[in-house]
Amino acid sequence: MFVPYSAYPKAEAEWFYDNVSLPKDNIHTIGDSTEYRLKDPKKSDQGRYKVIIKNKHGQGEAFINLDVIDVPGPVKSLHVVDTADGEVSLVWEEPESDGGSKIITYLVERRDVKRKTWTLATDRADAPEYTVTGLQRESMYLFRVCARNRVGSGPNVETE
């Protein structure tokens, strides 16, 4: 988060979140600006930040509202609703959290229980349901689904 300012003589900056002073290690102040650097921001870092800039002549303050956008949470209630010759229909519920960004698509993968690698069934499921086709008769499969937004993919949820 970056705040430009003009002050003479040089000013000091202090950053606050929930009225608590933030660690000086993350504050970088030079002649005409101050910034607070958050490494790996999380949803819990979201909110209103305040910076106070002061020198011997006085002080000023600024506020920044931070929105943190993250990957979606896990999908809920993934289960098989129908099986037919060579295909399986899956349904699930949307994640509780979209991460602060609209869900773009769902990724669906399959894995033959005799193998260790997952195969992409689709990365274009635009609704919380999908029918996986091209399955071998008499084979057992596991399926997993994750939601994706503009930040990336959330955690996978597997069938039992």
Q: Are residues 88 and 152 in the same domain?
A: yes
Instruction: Indicate if 14 and 87 belong to the same structural domain.
Output: no
Q: Are both 54 and 82 inside the same structural domain?
A: no
- Note the pLDDT of residue 44: 87
Q: What is the pLDDT of residue 101?
A: 93
pLDDT interval class at 13 (50, 70, 90): very high
Report residue 1 as tokens.
Answer: 């988060």
Task: Report yes or no on 120 lying in a domain.
Answer: yes
Provide the whole-model pTM: 0.73
Question: Domain check: are 89 and 151 in the same one?
Answer: yes
pLDDT in tens, 104-158: 999 999 999 999 999 999 999 999 999 999 999 889 999 999 999 999 999 999 9
Buried b / exposed e along 61-91 (16+ C-beta atoms within 10 A): ebeeeeeeebbbbbbeebeeeeeeeeebebb
Nearest-angstrom CA–CA distance, 48 and 145: 35
**What range defines the domain where residue 36 resides?**
2-66
* Residue 51 forms part of a structural domain: yes
- Residue 71 within any structural domain of the chain: no
pLDDT tens readout for residues 16-71: 999 999 999 999 998 899 999 998 888 889 999 999 999 999 999 999 999 999 99
The span from the CA of 7 to the CA of 109, in Å, is 57
Q: Is residue 138 part of a domain?
A: yes
| Domain co-membership, 43 together with 110 | no
User: What pLDDT score does 160 carry?
Assistant: 86
Residue 57 has a pLDDT of 96
Per-residue DSSP letter, 37? P
pLDDT confidence of residue 134: 95
Q: Are 28 and 90 part of one and the same domain?
A: no
Residue 28 lies in a domain: yes
Q: Is 11 part of any domain? A: yes
CATH code of the domain covering residue 12: 2.60.40.10
Tell me how many domains the chain contains.
2
State whether 49 and 89 are in the same domain.
no
Residue 128 resides in a domain:
yes
Same domain, 82 and 52: no
Let me know whether 11 and 51 are in one domain: yes
Residues 140 and 81 placed together within one structural domain of the fold? yes
